[in-house]
Structure 1
Amino acid sequence: MAQRSGGEHRCVEAPARRSGGKAAASPEKALNCCVRSVALVERAGNALGTLAFTWATVVLLGGYPTVLRPTDDFWFATTIVFLEAARMFSRNNRLDYQVFFHTRGAARSLGWKGLVIIVSLSNVLNYLFLVSTKHLNASPEFRNPSDVDLKRLNNLNIGMLILTAALGRLLSPGALKLLGNTRLRRSMSLCSPLVAILLLAPSIQSSAEGTFRSTMAKWTVFIVLFLAVLLLTISRLRFRRITQLVDRALGRKQVFWRRLIMNLCMLIALAMVVFMHDDPIYSAFLLVYALYAVLAVSFGNLQIPAAALRVVLALVRLIPHNYYGDGDDTIGDKTNLAPSLNIFYGMVLGQGILYLVACTLDIFTFIPRRSIARHGGFEGQLGMESINLYHGYVLEKCMERDALAPKKISLSSFAMDSLNSDSPRMQLHGIRLMHNLLQTEPAKTQLLAKLTTSANTSARLINMLDWTHPRNTTIRLFAAKVTAELAKGLRVVTTPGLIQSVSALLDCGNKVRGRGNPLMDTDDEQEAMHDPVLNVSDNHEERCIAVPDSGNLLETQDRSTQQVGTTEQSSEEEPLAETDQDLLPALAMSILYNLAGCDQSNCEEIIRSTGLIPKIIRFTAYRRSDANYTDSQGKVLVTSSLQLLHRLTSINGEIGIMLRHKVSKHAFLLRNLTKILKDCTSSQESRKLVAGILRNLAVDGNTRQEIGCIQVVITRLMQEFLSLGRPLATHADHVLQKVAGQALAMLAMESVHNSSVILNETGHVFIKELTTMIHDDRYRCVAASLLRSMCLHARPELDESDLQAISYSVREVLERIMNAEGAELEILIGLSSEICKVIPEDFARELEHGYIKDRFVKRLVDVLNANMEPSAHYPGIRRVIIQQAINMMEHDPCYASCFGNCRMVEAVSMVEETASKAENYSIFLGDVGLMEHREPLTSLVVRVKQLLAVRPIQQPSIST
């Protein structure tokens, strides 16, 4: 049992993953600097824009409304004013500003969605041109191309350019949010690649008559592309068998391979559209259109086109510098018009350039973003999405306040703000980011410090543990993981409701109620439990809930297969890998484990919680027939419950006594622990934990006797301790052997029955093994304690071979007493005292023949004088010394002279004066003594004084 002084518990945190280098210490520092630069440039552009807007409305349109040339300057100024007004007024609405004017996201990667749009529009444009050309060629009025009205084709071109820009805007995240219907967006995303390929067919068919050189080859390519995209589309459906086939074929990088294949298919389709015709001019036209479409789709919003428009409008008027017109010599009311226009167009030009610079700098922020993802461990698409959200968070913070004011922005503050938001998506990113930050140092220390000082965030985090809605399962799971780390430094009294929330987590997946006692349950009660009317609201709610696309860690296959196959698994959200440790009950026990190790007041709350400890003990009874968990998950739950019970039963002080009593009184605990020991498939860790729990519970006399009555427990502990016929190859083997020996030692203390059962278990081989283990530093104390208990409580059952083995160990015990200190010295003197009582002749002969009698007696007196104040680590050292002296003098009164010459009388008198109640206990856990001796120390002092008073006539000399 872990020895702890006092009643305090230190919080020991598990070592987090460390990364080398300065970047690992603050991975977001470089991104923060880049974003501050972007914000500073954009704010400068905003300032110039506001000034230009004011200058145009007050000075130009207000001062020269009639003299501005209507052909250029008036409309140029008006256009710029309305453009700037749209930017200024859209800032009042965050979503509108993101859609139209925002530096972040002004340019975005094309992606497969952009390619799908370009291929689809190119196919439509190609088909319309082919149809129009055939119609014109078939027209009887068609004689000379210059005579034909091409207005329809021009309108078609303009319409396609506008349509391309409009569809490109629909790809932006802000515009997609305006659609609202998530299912509709995902259905469009699922079907759009297939539609883009199918649109190739009309173009191939229409061009087959004349200009198509190899119709069959192109149809073949079309069929191959169609089949490839069809397979990719099917692979994104949530059918169980399809999912298994895709996982088997593509493995963990299925998202990467899907995107790569889809991009290749779209590029091949686009190449077919561009180079489908023999006419090089028409192919060049389609190529130019494709490049225009790429630019249009790559613009995330109107910031770059608007900035380019500002630059163009300003340069068009600044370069010619013709504000008055040719031949206009009148000055009159046009005084200062040219300087005013120069100032205005200069500000507009500066604004446009600053916006372009800001957008360019923002594009290059992908470098520090990738660096954060690499050094911070943000893996997968969701990890990059979190970094992109942090990028926007930093930019927004920098734009809100003073430009040059210091801003303390970090990933931990972003995670906390996201957690406190009302958006489920942001809450998911916030809690995932917290979990990720807790894996590295010093981000872990920084985040935990902020969490412990933020009552609102801690309350929200604890509140998430109660979110039982199926769509919140992932958030709840990560909240449990973060809480498990936070619990290492958390006091329950400062977080109301924590224990109740954790107790509710223990019920997850374990709510199946068995049949009750037929003498206690009535048919009415059983029917009420299953009455569908009582559960109609819950059932209706669950029926209406779709499996979330964010990757539910605890989602069962049954619920997944209930989904129709028309819904895609979003390729943007990589499924989170489920592990056996990601069980909510296991995480709940991890939270309780850390709480119990942090502060004893937390243990008090655990005791007060009704039904909490029985729930924990229930998980020690996992059966393979349990349909709620797999075999590996069941083993994780068993190990988690054993670890928690081991910690709870190791608590010191009065709280520890109450905890051990509450645990031990559970009717099925010992049965469950026995089954784990008996199970040959139980892990070594589980057996070690069971042995430790039995050792901790054995400090109570009643529980000790109850455990000793279970023969299987003694048998299994003996097998683990002696390791007969089993080599000890690893450190874990030695630890298990030692813990099993400690459990046996605790069971044998102050128990005649248990000592007898232990001795008879191995047919008297036990004593010989113990005498051998005394020579091993790792097991000396355990073996000495067990051997002492056998001599004290099982003396009538020791045969000659046992006594002979004990006699062989006397010299080793005496030699160790000369050098040992502390608790080991107490145990060894206690053993030598009992050996002296069991085989006094052999003990005396070893003292005489070894020429250590004088040194041994002097050693005892010196130790007695050195321990005038009892210690909680070895409270009985003076008791065992006095008991040793009594046994020696009762066997041979001559030893009284030896003790007398070493001033034993004075030492005993001092013991009598300083006798403490603490010396009446065998062990201490904290400040609480356990296993009280029947005979007080003062009685032993009286007895030893009586023996010292009776001295023989001839006194042996004592060498100093």
Structure 2
Amino acid sequence: MPTRMWTSTEVPLLPYAKWVFISRNVSKLLYWLQLASATACVVLSMIKLVKRDYGDVEKGDSDKRNRKSALIIFYSLALAEALLFLLEKAYWEWKVSVKKLLESVNDECELGDSGLISIRRFFYDAYSKCVNGSIFDGLKMDMVTFAMELLDSNSPDEQLVGARILRKFSISPRFSEDTLQKIGISLSVIERLVEMLNWKDHEEEEIRYSSAEILSKLAELVAVAGIPGAMESISSLLHVSRSHNGACDEISEKKIILDNENYGSWSFNHMGLQILKKLARDHDICGKIGNTRGLLPKIIDFTNAEERLLKHPTATPSQIVTVKRSLQVLKMLASTSGSAGKQLRKEISEIVFTISNIRDILKHGENQPELQILGIEILTSLAIEEDATERIGGTGGVLKALFGIFFNDEIPENQNHVRAAAGEALAMLALESKSSCQRIHKLKINEKLIKALEVPLLNINAARILRNLCAYSGDDCFEQLKGLTAAAPTILEAIMKEENKLQEVMIGAASCIFKFMNSQNSKIMFQKAGIREFDLAHRLFLILKKYQYPSIRVPSIRRYALELAIWMMRDDTSNIRTFESLGLEKELESVMETTTELESFNIFSGTVGLYRHKIAMHSLVETAMELLEEGKSYRESR
């Protein structure tokens, strides 16, 4: 029998124990007990004060003589205390229940439907500090400090309350700045938020999501990446669902409901990418992202967009946003300067899905120009590295897709920047890459490229592509390159009329293309263009005179002008006399004295020069001087 009494579930020993130990019920019980005791105190004190029946008081007995007065004083004080307590209770009941004090504070703090729990807890804690300590302890409390303390609690309920408050204040336009500054100076709180990113329990999802959103805001103010284990914690937010064949099936979309609002479009994936995007603005942190095990492949996984997703006009916005954010992060990593950038570009290009994912976006992303331009810019940055250039050119369809965008006249005018970006990528891929140039020749795009020289949107990049094809294709492509000489009249006309960058690239294209023409062909080209060789020589002389100190906008304009002048003097000795009469020798001396390192490189990554020109400026000046001397000697010998 005793055993049955303790183990039976039919007749529990304490049937109301569960009800008693629920905190809400305990609070109600204590509340009514306080009112009952205070009311009883008032009733008893009033009865005693009215009746004043304190027993017989004998004269001469000092102990009994003062009993009546003492009891009157005692019951008066008890009555006053009870009345004050009931008055205070009535006042707060009126403020809280009738005037809706807590609701008013909750609305003011913009905490939403769940905020009442937080507000009530805040008032209780403030009251407790006033009672147990000093009233100033309670007055000094604020919601952010209160939430930060709860965040460090061992109770999941208290952690949730703290996370909700900090999240709401962090995203509020009114309170975010002060809130984030206060969190930012507390290293322990940041560490706690980073730690919460790793929590995987289903019941802790709201805490985890709130921590991620706070950190996404905080990433703009403090170096979150400096917290030990921060990058690994951020990496834990990224998850890609995969089908049985290894391809991305669909993007993980965990539905989080906060304050009765559906935040399904803001999944953990989105928050993780958002944090990385903000952190990647710092080039030092980009290096940390690259060094975090498994993080780069996760980012690249999100760039996988199926054809149906890209082409469908009503594609899920959250999926498009995820692809876009991953491309933005990847673009920032690929464009990092210095040794960290070099290593990142190497690692990004070595991941087998990077280029093929971008190729799919280029081929099928007509409805998503933002994604296309991000993909193109990533390829342009990766092409800085020779190995990456080979991988891009060797991935089937990439060059064809880029030219398809570059030559596509049907692209709306407001999306023309995509065409310009494609041209820049192609010029980079052709730079000092024989294999890329040969692959471009196989596409048979010479005629389209020549026509592009006349299109204002395309002419700069078309000229750069032409120059690189002529300079780096090799002898195997002589016949294809010879066909590009048909562009000479257009190029000559641009040199004579244009200024700055367009003039620079046209002179650069001319200095390479004209090498594939003999003297007879060149004269025909000058006639077609309606330009005399003297006029071109004079134009080149004026350019050398004007750009004594070339800027970063036209770093190679003097180099290209010298290359073209050298070709002219070699092509026709009469041009030597022309340049001599213009005073080229004196101008060459000036060029020799003002040559800078800026003129030694093809492109730049920040302030660092890349792809140094094979022929130094001093060598070009010396060659031009020698040709002038040879011309003098020839005339003297005659």
Counterparts of 2:240 and 2:624, CA distance in 1: 63
Q: Is structure 2 residue 617 aligned with structure 1 residue 933?
A: no
Corresponding residue for residue 94 of structure 2: 360
SS of the residue 1:554 aligns to: coil
Q: Is structure 2 residue 462 aligned with structure 1 residue 788?
A: no
Distance change (3 Å), C-alpha of 1:579 and 1:901: same
Counterparts of 1:847 and 1:785, CA distance in 2: 23
Corresponding residue for residue 904 of structure 1: 587
Q: Is structure 2 residue 180 aligned with structure 1 residue 448?
A: yes
Deviates more, 1:460-469 or 1:476-485: 476-485
* TM-fit CA distance, 1:831: 4.0
CA displacement, residues 315-340 of structure 1 (integer Å, 9 cap, x when unaligned): 6677x5x6468999979324744456
Corresponding residue for residue 830 of structure 1: 508
Match of 1:419 among 151, 163, 180: 151
Query: In the alignment, residue 782 of structure 1 is paired with which amino acid?
Result: N
Distance change (3 Å), C-alpha of 1:574 and 1:343: closer
Corresponding residue for residue 588 of structure 1: 272
SS of the residue 2:416 aligns to: helix
Corresponding residue for residue 202 of structure 2: 470
Distance change (3 Å), C-alpha of 1:427 and 1:363: same
Distance change (3 Å), C-alpha of 1:894 and 1:329: farther
Corresponding residue for residue 546 of structure 2: 862
Query: In the alignment, residue 612 of structure 2 is paired with which amino acid?
Result: E
Match of 1:655 among 328, 335, 340: 340
Counterparts of 1:309 and 1:888, CA distance in 2: 115
Is contact 1:502–1:588 with CA below 8 Å preserved after alignment? Answer: yes
Residues 729-808 of structure 1: pairs in structure 2 closer than 5 A = 729-730=413-414, 733-758=415-440, 761=443, 763-773=445-455, 775-776=456-457, 781-793=460-472, 796-797=479-480, 803-808=485-490
Deviates more, 1:877-886 or 1:502-511: 502-511
Is contact 1:434–1:482 with CA below 8 Å preserved after alignment? Answer: yes
Counterparts of 1:513 and 1:176, CA distance in 2: 55
Residues 274-423 of structure 1: pairs in structure 2 closer than 5 A = 302=33, 323=52, 332-334=65-67, 336-337=69-70, 338=72, 341-363=75-97, 366=100, 369-370=103-104, 372-373=106-107, 377-379=110-112, 381-396=113-128, 401-404=133-136, 407-423=139-155
Corresponding residue for residue 11 of structure 2: none
Distance change (3 Å), C-alpha of 1:400 and 1:511: farther
Query: In the alignment, residue 191 of structure 2 is paired with which amino acid?
Result: A
Distance change (3 Å), C-alpha of 1:488 and 1:843: farther
Deviates more, 1:463-472 or 1:341-350: 341-350
Distance change (3 Å), C-alpha of 1:624 and 1:412: farther
Is contact 2:42–2:83 with CA below 8 Å preserved after alignment? Answer: yes
Query: In the alignment, residue 333 of structure 1 is paired with which amino acid?
Result: N
Corresponding residue for residue 264 of structure 1: none
Counterparts of 1:954 and 1:756, CA distance in 2: 41
Corresponding residue for residue 880 of structure 1: 560
* TM-fit CA distance, 1:656: 0.4
CA displacement, residues 556-594 of structure 1 (integer Å, 9 cap, x when unaligned): 9xxxxxxxxxxxxxxx99666252440x34433333332
Query: In the alignment, residue 95 of structure 2 is paired with which amino acid?
Result: L
Is contact 2:273–2:329 with CA below 8 Å preserved after alignment? Answer: yes
Deviates more, 1:657-666 or 1:642-651: 642-651
Is contact 1:649–1:660 with CA below 8 Å preserved after alignment? Answer: yes
Distance change (3 Å), C-alpha of 1:400 and 1:828: farther
Distance change (3 Å), C-alpha of 1:494 and 1:772: same
Is contact 1:490–1:595 with CA below 8 Å preserved after alignment? Answer: no
CA displacement, residues 357-410 of structure 1 (integer Å, 9 cap, x when unaligned): 24433446735744643x66544x334444444454554555555335795544
* TM-fit CA distance, 1:728: 0.8
Deviates more, 1:426-435 or 1:686-695: 426-435
Counterparts of 1:358 and 1:487, CA distance in 2: 42
Distance change (3 Å), C-alpha of 1:703 and 1:347: closer
Q: Is structure 2 residue 257 aligned with structure 1 residue 554?
A: no
SS of the residue 1:946 aligns to: helix
Query: In the alignment, residue 468 of structure 1 is paired with which amino acid?
Result: K
Q: Is structure 2 residue 10 aligned with structure 1 residue 175?
A: no
Of all paired residues, the percent bearing the same amino acid is 24
Query: In the alignment, residue 356 of structure 1 is paired with which amino acid?
Result: A
Query: Where does structure 1 lack aligned partners over 5 or more consecutive residues?
Result: 1-166, 179-295, 516-551, 557-571, 956-960
Corresponding residue for residue 602 of structure 1: 285
Is contact 1:503–1:612 with CA below 8 Å preserved after alignment? Answer: yes
Q: Is structure 2 residue 416 aligned with structure 1 residue 684?
A: no
Corresponding residue for residue 407 of structure 2: 722
Distance change (3 Å), C-alpha of 1:365 and 1:403: farther
Q: Is structure 2 residue 216 aligned with structure 1 residue 484?
A: yes
Distance change (3 Å), C-alpha of 1:514 and 1:811: closer
Query: In the alignment, residue 466 of structure 1 is paired with which amino acid?
Result: N
Distance change (3 Å), C-alpha of 1:173 and 1:477: same
* TM-fit CA distance, 1:305: 5.5
Is contact 1:676–1:682 with CA below 8 Å preserved after alignment? Answer: no
Residues 520-559 of structure 1: pairs in structure 2 closer than 5 A = 554=254
Counterparts of 1:791 and 1:758, CA distance in 2: 12
Is contact 1:835–1:843 with CA below 8 Å preserved after alignment? Answer: no
**How many residues are aligned here?**
591
Corresponding residue for residue 226 of structure 2: 494
SS of the residue 1:772 aligns to: coil
Q: Is structure 2 residue 393 aligned with structure 1 residue 708?
A: yes
SS of the residue 1:422 aligns to: coil
Counterparts of 1:405 and 1:887, CA distance in 2: 86
Corresponding residue for residue 161 of structure 2: 429
CA displacement, residues 428-479 of structure 1 (integer Å, 9 cap, x when unaligned): 2332333333323352222332333222111111111222233323322333
SS of the residue 1:924 aligns to: strand
Is contact 1:674–1:713 with CA below 8 Å preserved after alignment? Answer: yes
Counterparts of 1:903 and 1:701, CA distance in 2: 39
Query: Where does structure 2 lack aligned partners over 5 or more consecutive residues?
Result: 1-15, 310-314
Query: In the alignment, residue 723 of structure 1 is paired with which amino acid?
Result: N
* TM-fit CA distance, 1:701: 2.0
* TM-fit CA distance, 1:352: 3.2
Corresponding residue for residue 300 of structure 2: 617
Match of 2:497 among 779, 791, 815: 815
Give 1 or 2 for the bigger CA radius of gyration: 1
Is contact 2:377–2:425 with CA below 8 Å preserved after alignment? Answer: yes
Is contact 1:307–1:356 with CA below 8 Å preserved after alignment? Answer: no
CA displacement, residues 859-895 of structure 1 (integer Å, 9 cap, x when unaligned): 32221x224xx85x66545433433443444442134
Tell me the TM-score normalized by structure 1. Answer: 0.54
* TM-fit CA distance, 1:929: 2.8
* TM-fit CA distance, 1:904: 0.7
Distance change (3 Å), C-alpha of 1:335 and 1:615: closer
Distance change (3 Å), C-alpha of 1:854 and 1:455: same
Counterparts of 1:893 and 1:698, CA distance in 2: 40
